[in-house]
Chains A and B, each alone.
Chain A
């Protein structure tokens, strides 16, 4: 995994897992990798993963069971809620950037449609 060197690693990994959860790759109740395994996979300090899981736990997106395994919450509605909030935030930030560059809503929409079409 490639990380940006001037952003905290834990926030980058947290975001990555959130995206996995929101996109459904990590469905409800999926067991997340063990701290050590994920640390090895990402080539980061396990303490970073501890922090990631702690943050996700605090946001109630994951929970820990009696065996200390981490699982994605079974509350699909909650996930959808969080997903909405996440995407809205992203959209707002993107919109802000576009506005700064002088584009309006229509131009942005057209551009995005192009990008998505090409991506197919």
Chain B
């Protein structure tokens, strides 16, 4: 894949327009941050990109099992076991099960545990691990750090660093800039249903502006 391209994404709920023509074009190897306040439609956009919501107008260049999507909450029934979740991913995606199990060993999650028995933090952990171990062209993460302690936040950042070199695109929607600031290659701000132009982060810094300043400025 050379680039991940979305164009003209529009979505409305009845009369209300939530997204009015979002565009994005990220080269392979990019680490893109979609910044925006809560409720501006970041999750709506990611749901469209992750094929959860098909009620939209616009074009997306990569969809389906070539996209791994870590949502704020997993959609799996709570009575399923962690083991079944791994089976599911192995069945429907190109999934590195050995790697996922290795990552699980470093957590306190037992494979036989039911999802409802896990704490919110542990559910996010397994959510991340499953999607991270998918060999996909695009990795979408919706607020990946919420509910997680410092240790696993570190695990996520380190894991993403490892993946950042490969020829795929990582997209993180967040308003927590600090942890990801030095990982982003590009950022864009979602405001009023539109995605701002993709800004090269190092170029931004070269002009003497930090990502926080850029974000704060865009929100004016």
A-side residues, CB < 8 A to B, are 3, 5-11, 35-36, 39-40, 42-48, 51
Asked if residues A40 and B158 are in contact (CB atoms below 8 Å), the reply is yes
Q: A9-B202, A43-B157, A48-B202 are in contact. Are A3 and B164 (CB under 8 A)?
A: no
Known: A3-B182, A44-B182, A45-B182. A36 touches B162 (CB 8 A): yes
Q: Is B69 interfacial (CB 8 A cutoff)?
A: no
Tell me if A43 and B161 are in contact (CB < 8 A).
Answer: yes
Q: Count residues of B near A (Cβ-Cβ below 8 Å).
A: 22
* CB < 8 Å neighbour of A40 from B162, B184, B185, B205: B162
| Min CB–CB distance A67 → chain B (angstroms) | 18
CA distance A6 to B181 in the complex (A): 11
* Contact status B202-A40, CB under 8 Å: no
- Distance between Cα atoms of A47 and B182 in the complex (Å): 11
In the assembled complex, which residues on chain A have CB atoms less than 8 Å from the CB atom of B206? 7-8, 11
> Which of B157, B165, B184, B210 is A6 in contact with, Cβ under 8 Å?
B210
Q: Are B209 and A6 in contact (CB under 8 A)?
A: yes
Q: Which residue of A lies closest to B166 (CB)?
A: A46
- Given A9-B182, A45-B31, A47-B29, decide whether A35 and B165 contact each other with a Cβ distance below 8 A: yes
Q: Is the CB of A5 within 8 A of B164?
A: no
A3 shortest CB reach to chain B, Å = 6
